[in-house]
Amino acid sequence: MRLVSEIVSALKVFDALTVGEILHAKGVYSNLQSARVNAQKKLNELVALGQLEKCNGFYRIPGCKSEYKEHAHLITKALAEVLKLPATSIIHREITIPAVGLRPDAIVLITKNNQGLCLILEVCNNETPEYLQSKINVWNNWPESTHFLSNLLNYRIPHYELVPITVLDGFIAFLQEVAR
C-alpha cells in the first residue's frame, strides 16, 4: 500500500490503469491485468479511508480540482512514464512559484547511482508556441531558478532541462535515453 500511496501522491489525478501500469513496471505484479485490478482495489480502499476521491472514471487526491481532461491526462501519463523508470524520482505537480508567476506542469528530479536529472515538464497540447516560449524565457532569465529548485527538491541542482511535451511517444523515447 505504501508504493500505491507514493504513486498517488506524485500523480495527484489518475485512473486505475495508470497506477496498475506503474506497479507492473516496478515488478509488483507479473501481468498488467492483475496489476490494474489490484490497483483499483487499493485505490478504492484509499477512497474508503477518505484519502482519495473517486470521480467519473478517475481518482484524485482531496483538494485537487482537476476533472482529468486531456491536459491533466497527458501530464499524468508523462509522470507515469517517469515513475516506471528503474530510478528514484521526486515529482512536484503544478506547484505555483509566486516569485516569477510560473506554474509548471511538473518539476521532476530523477536520481540513479548518485546522479540526478532535474526536468521542468510542460505539456503542450493546447498552448501556443508564444506562450510556451514566454515560460521558457522566464526560466532562462530567472537568476534564482537553480536555488529555488535545489530548495524544493532538497538536492543540489546546478542545471535543469526544460522539456516541452507535445507527443508522449517522444517523451518516452527521451526517458529511455536518460535511463541508459
178 pLDDT tier (thresholds 50, 70, 90): confident
SS3 label, residue 26: coil
pLDDT at 113: 87
Question: Residue 101 and residue 134: Cα distance in Å, rounded?
Answer: 11
CA dihedral sign of residues 30, 32, 33, 34: positive
Q: What is the pLDDT of residues 128-148, one digit of tens each?
A: 889 999 999 999 999 999 999
Residues 8-20: what's their mean pLDDT? 97
Q: What pLDDT score was predicted for residue 100?
A: 96
Report the amino acid identity of residue 138. Answer: V
Specify the pTM. Answer: 0.94
Do 168 and 74 form a contact (C-beta atoms < 8 A)?
A: yes
| Domains defined along the chain, listed by start | 1-68 (1.10.10), 77-180 (3.40.1350)
Contacts of 104 by beta carbon, 8 Å cutoff, 6+ apart: 94, 95, 97, 120, 121, 122, 135
Residue 22 has pLDDT above 90, yes or no: yes
**How confident is the model over 40-92, as pLDDT tens digits?**
999 999 999 999 999 998 999 999 989 999 999 999 999 999 999 999 999 99
The rounded distance, in Å, linking the Cα atoms of 144 and 160 is 13
* Through-space distance between the first and last CA atoms of the chain, rounded to whole angstroms: 29
- % pLDDT > 70, the chain: 100
Contact 83, 7 (CB under 8 A): yes
Q: For residue 136, give the C-alpha cell.
A: 521558457
How many residues does this entry show for the chain?
Answer: 180
